Amino acid sequence: MSVDKDTVAKIANLARIAVSDDELESTAGELNNILDWVEQLSEVSTEGVEAMTSVVAASLPRREDKVTDGGYRDQVLKNAPVSEHGFFAVPKVIE
Amino acid sequence: MTELTKLTLSAARDGLHNRDFTAREITEQHVNAIEDAKELNTYIEVTTNQALQMADAADEMIKSGNAKSMTGIPIGIKDLYCTKGFHSCAASHILDGFKPEYESTVTSNLWNDGAVMLGKTNMDEFAMGSSNENSYYGPVKNPWRAGNSDKDTVPGGSSGGSAAAVAADISIATTGTDTGGSIRQPASFAGLVGLKPTYGRCSRFGMIAFASSLDQAGPLTKSVRDAAIMLESMAGYDEKDSTCINIPVPNYEAALTGDISGLKVGIPNEYRVDGMPGEIEKLWQQGIAWLKDAGAQIIDISLPHTKYALPTYYIVAPAECSSNLARYDGVKYGLRVTGDSLDDMYKNTRAAGFGDEVKRRILIGTYVLSAGYYDAYYLKAQRVRTLIANDFKAAYEKCDVILTPTAPSAAFELGDKISDPLAMYLNDVFTVPASLAGLPGVSVPAGLSAEGLPLGLQVLGQAFGEEQMLNVADVLEKAAAFNVKPTKWWGE
Amino acid sequence: MRNLYQGATGDWEVVIGLEIHAQVISESKLFSGASTKFGSEPNTQVSFVCSAQPGMLPVINEECVRQAVRTGLAMGCQINLRSVFDRKNYFYADLPQGYQISQFKDPIVGEGVVTVDLEDGSTKDIGVERLHLEQDAGKSMHDQHPSMTYVDLNRSGVALMEIVSKPDMRSAEEAGAYFKKIRSLVRYAGTCDGNMDQGSMRADVNVSVRRPGEPLGTRTETKNVNSIRYVMMVIESEIRRQVDVLEDGGTIDQETRLFEVATGTTRTMRSKEEAHDYRYFPDPDLLPLEFSQAFVDELAKEMPELSDAKKARFIKDLHISAYNAGVLVAEKESADYFEELLSATVEKSGKQVSELGTMVSNWVTGDLFGALKKLGKGITGSPVSIAHAAELLSLQVDGTISGRIAKEVFENMLESGKSPEVIVDEKGLKQVSDTGAIETMIDEILVANADKVEEYRGGKEKLYGFFVGQVMKQTGGKANPQVVNQLLRPKLDG
């Protein structure tokens, strides 16, 4: 499996990272180097092996249904690049 | 007055408790030393006022008889930890100006015990890297240089700033984080002790995430005893982290008995990798001999899937990072680069905000999770990960701890490997397997390379077996009697 | 019965599946301690966790787990003792993490079947594929600023149950009935308030058409439809559109569409996303969710009676008609009102439940529902209290007023809000059961209408009604009809 320029463009779009046309080729090369290297995993027989979901042997802790957080809008918005009237603001979206 | 910056944590603690000096004095000396060592670029932000306030509060604690081991100890905090009201940017451009309104659990624990924050230490952006060259704030210089060379070496990564700060005596100890070796490898490069606890031992709450299933907080210190003291303060259950385990924190320092007679030390054959320098093999043999002399039993063990650990890691960690870093989108905090549409704003912000290595890993991670490739890459890697964890389980049927080298080389020169990602990744060959299995590991300085750079040996423990692991590390440290300091070439 | 749609070139079959998003009733959010309260000032119910600040981690709310299990039990579904939370990765302004925590491969609830009632009195089984827990997104407002979209994260992280049906529905009516049934079930179970106006329930509607017997056609998904009526409109409009496209030789694009209330039709979303690639993977911040069968059993034991069981009980124990029972249980509030009224009437009148069931159910489904419909009110907004209604029905049961007078009194109650006893007293509406008085009245009427009496006796029996009418006229409708009958018939028959 190897990635071409189109694939790089596709995943860069999925990851929302602008990659210029002239960077596509070199990025594809870098990614292929890494992907070719990890390819060696195909040597390992993993038939019937469970995929790891957690390295710790514990059960998921659950919290009580109580309101214990929130109610501090100023702090939530404090680091926002743009906020207006208590909202976060982003370039207009057309649905 | 003695140079308080040279003290180990345990010596500083004893001095503070005995009122030989004050927290203010030791803090002021560090603040001055930091100023003198600016060119190392270890600190991204120095929080002098905060440090002095905290030092005064610590002196009050000591006066009132409520001192803990960490009270009055000046430490640096890796920029990956959120510290309320202070620079917490993971050394990334994308978090420009971000000052969290909350405190990480690990740093809260340290402050509750009276520790003093000197500042935020430099690191590889989002903890991705092994040389600290991937920082928006520029590379960190290792205080160690080869022989009489005036060429800069890297301090390792990603906790490079944390390592260099302790090695340069501009912090008594520091916090680091370890995802695939980011505490242990820099410790080895800088002649320090670096400890990665069992996954789940320390809370990840408030620690900026790189790869959630691997990230763990840990200390970088001047001695094994220091690491034991500091881990005790950092560790503990936290209901705000669902992967944090509710097991009482033992008194790690009390575990340092020096008695390891009869203890079984496993030596994994698969860690003899191609191209490993002879001096590292030699040091490893020396380490084995020291432990044997101390009464340990040496057992050959096999960890058959070792060679697959790195490729597994470079699928799992990028996959998690591609998702964890999706929140940096220019909406809620940090950098925003405008665009004509929401999507353009995302793309411009993320292209400008992330460095090359971070982008590379996000793209790899996006690819291995994408439709059609998930099974071949991500699922396959998580299955191999199970096999790697099973290797350790089987090995620990036969032995109590495992001894390996920490890194396949000593510190290399700045710029040497930055253009070759794969060569850089190989730095973590000995640290990554335990990370994938969630097991604890500690690097102990054990000797010098032919060029006069420090080399470390790694002791791996069983899950939540930090006490035994630290005890072995302590014996190793004493046997190695590593007491060399880098020759000061920076500052006045 | 098959629902086929006639196109210009022949018959078409429609295949419908619904993904219903139901907001879980809980105090705090699924993974954060922020409040779920509706209608607060923007971003005031947001924590650092639900605004995805760096280093924040999710911790699950146990009540949301219970609610999902209860809902699964209500739908007769398999409960999975182990389930896994996955991340669904995509970028959007109101998705602060850049991913939604959801369940992909291993949901908390598995397959089940719900039975729905159709207009013609028949029923149909609709398969439930699964129910999973997930986070809601925030809210984007596009019309507040000329060049910006505003984002409110109050809803971000609120627990949703996504209930996915099998593609078992074949008409808008079936889909409407299924949505209604699910809404009723979650309301009975107390797991979702079903409040569509506030967005507590909404559906993604998947529609495709095919020639009968052929494989499934390409489907479209119309997102976020927030009423049962709109769901049915979406389906009708999609059937027409898809059949038109296909009959013109075109093909259907697999796409996401939006419903336009103004036109009652759907349209392609303008912000056309690339083919969805959500890159699901298990959330490494969470461990698998595991619980014991005992945990499920305990919840099952505490479950309230659901509509199907209630309906069966109404028919069996209260002897009321299947139709009335169905109408009453459709909404939990009407069933509750009916049961409370029935017991209040039993207490007031001293009669047996079985004697009153039919009468009370007729009154609720007939008189009361009719009046509420005219007033544009729901059962919870009824201007007539249970106590007053019970009083009214008791007056009828003990013969104080007739059924006809009861209707008059009810009208008055709606207007005045007075108690029926007061109205009957004030207006002197008490039924006349005094045999002496009625007998005298009858004698007078017979004398005054001697010619009609002759005609009756001559065989014109239809005139009986005339005499009853005369008695009622003279008593202002208050004569007890039974007493009138008892006295009139023998006198007329001589």
CATH of the domain at B152: 3.90.1300.10
CA distance C313 to C76: 18
Mean pLDDT (whole number) for B113-132: 98
Give the HSE-up count for residue C215: Cα atoms under 13 Å, Cβ half-sphere. 1
Q: Closest approach of chain C CAs to the CA of B364, in angstroms?
A: 12
Out of C45, C60, C145, closest to residue A63 by CB: C60
pLDDT at C456: 87
Whether residues A63 and C62 touch (CB distance < 8 A) is answered with: yes
Query: Which pTM value belongs to this model?
Result: 0.91
Mean pLDDT (whole number) for C395-424: 86
Out of B204, B243, B329, closest to residue C98 by CB: B329
Out of A44, A52, A55, closest to residue B308 by CB: A44
Q: Spot the catalytic one: B10, B68, B78, B435.
A: B78
State chain C's mean pLDDT as an integer. 91
Residue of B nearest to A8 (CA): B363
Q: Is B158 a catalytic residue?
A: yes
Q: Spot the catalytic one: B69, B104, B131, B182.
A: B182
> Does residue C2 carry a pLDDT above 70?
no
CA distance C284 to C281: 9
CB atoms within 10 A of CB C58: 22
Task: Choose from C57, C86, C100 for mutation: most chain B CBs within 10 A.
Answer: C57
| Percentage of residues of chain B with pLDDT beyond 70 | 100
Query: Options 1.10.20, 3.10.20, 1.10.3470, 2.60.40; which CATH number does A5-42 get?
Result: 1.10.20
Mean pLDDT (whole number) for C376-387: 89
pLDDT category of residue B210 using cuts at 50, 70 and 90 = very high
pLDDT at A63: 97
Out of B101, B204, B239, closest to residue C59 by CB: B239
Residue of B nearest to A31 (CA): B364
> Does residue B199 carry a pLDDT above 80?
yes
Q: Which of chain B's residues have a Cβ under 8 Å away from the Cβ of A44?
A: 305, 308, 380, 384, 387
* Placement of tokens 């207007």 in the chain: C415
* Placement of tokens 């369940």 in the chain: C103
Task: Choose from C28, C191, C272 for mutation: most chain A CBs within 10 A.
Answer: C28
Residue of B nearest to A1 (CA): B373
Give the start-to-end residue ranges of the domains of chain A: 5-42
- Closest alpha carbon to C29 in C111, C106, C134, C110: C134
pLDDT at B356: 96
CB atoms within 10 A of CB B324: 26
Which residues of C, range 434-463, sit inside 8 Å of A by Cβ?
none
Q: Closest approach of chain A CAs to the CA of B32, in angstroms?
A: 32
Whether residues C274 and A13 touch (CB distance < 8 A) is answered with: yes
Q: Taking the C-alpha atoms of C56, C58, C63 and C69 in order, what is their torsion angle to the nearest 10 degrees?
A: 160
- Tokens found for residue B155: 């301090």
Mean pLDDT (whole number) for B205-220: 98
CA distance B416 to C1: 76
Query: Which residues, including other chains, have CB under 8 Å from residue C30's CB and lie 6 or more apart?
Result: C24, C58, C60, C61, C64, C101, C133, C134, C135, C157, C158, C159, C160
Residue of A nearest to B350 (CA): A17
pLDDT category of residue C320 using cuts at 50, 70 and 90 = very high
Whether residues C142 and A92 touch (CB distance < 8 A) is answered with: yes
pLDDT category of residue C69 using cuts at 50, 70 and 90 = very high
Task: Choose from B383, B388, B391 for mutation: most chain A CBs within 10 A.
Answer: B383
Window from C329-333, C365-369, C429-433 with minimum mean pLDDT: C429-433
Contact partners of C by the rule of 3+ C-beta pairs under 8 A?
A, B
Judge whether B489 and B150 are in contact, CB under 8 Å. yes
A45 CB within 8 Å of a chain B CB: no
Residue of C nearest to B370 (CA): C279
Query: Which residues, including other chains, have CB under 8 Å from residue B55's CB and lie 6 or more apart?
Result: B22, B23, B24, B26, B27, B28, B72, B74, B116
Whether residues B245 and A81 touch (CB distance < 8 A) is answered with: no
Residue of B nearest to C152 (CA): B332
CA distance C238 to C12: 13
Q: Which of chain C's residues have a Cβ under 8 Å away from the Cβ of B213?
A: 284
Q: Closest approach of chain B CAs to the CA of C170, in angstroms?
A: 31
C292 CB within 8 Å of a chain A CB: no
Q: State the DSSP string of B1-67.
A: ---GGG--HHHHHHHHHTTSS-HHHHHHHHHHHHHHTGGG--EEEE-HHHHHHHHHHHHHHHHTT--
Domain C435-493 fold is Arc Repressor Mutant, subunit A (1.10.10)
How far is residue C287 from each of residues B127, B245, B317, C60, C69, measured CA to CA in Å?
A: 23, 11, 17, 10, 18
C83 CB within 8 Å of a chain A CB: no
Q: Closest approach of chain A CAs to the CA of C152, in angstroms?
A: 6
pLDDT at C96: 98
| Inter-chain Cβ pairs, chain B and chain C, closer than 8 A | 99
Mean pLDDT (whole number) for B392-415: 97
Whether residues C48 and B102 touch (CB distance < 8 A) is answered with: yes
pLDDT in tens, B356-383: 999 999 999 999 999 889 999 999 999 9
> Does residue C276 carry a pLDDT above 80?
no
Give the HSE-up count for residue C476: Cα atoms under 13 Å, Cβ half-sphere. 9
pLDDT in tens, A23-82: 999 999 999 999 999 999 999 999 999 999 888 878 899 999 999 999 999 999 999 999
- Amino acid letter at B160? G
Q: Is B370 a catalytic residue?
A: no
Out of B97, B100, B213, closest to residue A55 by CB: B213
Q: Which of chain C's residues have a Cβ under 8 Å away from the Cβ of B369?
A: 89, 279-281
Whether residues B88 and C53 touch (CB distance < 8 A) is answered with: no
Mean pLDDT (whole number) for C467-494: 81
How far is residue B264 from each of residues A34, B458, B469, C386, measured CA to CA in Å?
A: 38, 15, 11, 80
pLDDT in tens, C91-143: 999 999 999 999 999 999 999 999 998 988 899 999 999 999 999 999 999 99
Give the domain range for residue B250.
1-492
> Does residue C271 carry a pLDDT above 60?
no
Number of domains observed in the structure of chain B:
1
CA distance B209 to B204: 8
pLDDT category of residue C270 using cuts at 50, 70 and 90 = low
Task: Choose from C37, C41, C43 for mutation: most chain A CBs within 10 A.
Answer: C43
H or E stretch at C446? helix C435-448
Residue of B nearest to C54 (CA): B208
pLDDT at C1: 44
Task: Choose from A38, A60, A78 for mutation: most chain B CBs within 10 A.
Answer: A38
- Closest alpha carbon to B130 in B388, B411, B366: B411
B319 CB within 8 Å of a chain C CB: yes
> Does residue C37 carry a pLDDT above 70?
yes
Mean pLDDT (whole number) for B431-451: 97
| Inter-chain Cβ pairs, chain A and chain B, closer than 8 A | 164
Give the HSE-up count for residue C198: Cα atoms under 13 Å, Cβ half-sphere. 15
Whether ipTM > 0.95 holds is yes
pLDDT in tens, B29-78: 999 999 999 999 999 999 999 999 999 999 999 999 999 999 999 999 99
pLDDT in tens, C193-208: 999 988 999 999 999 9
Residue of A nearest to C67 (CA): A65
Q: Closest approach of chain A CAs to the CA of B11, in angstroms?
A: 35
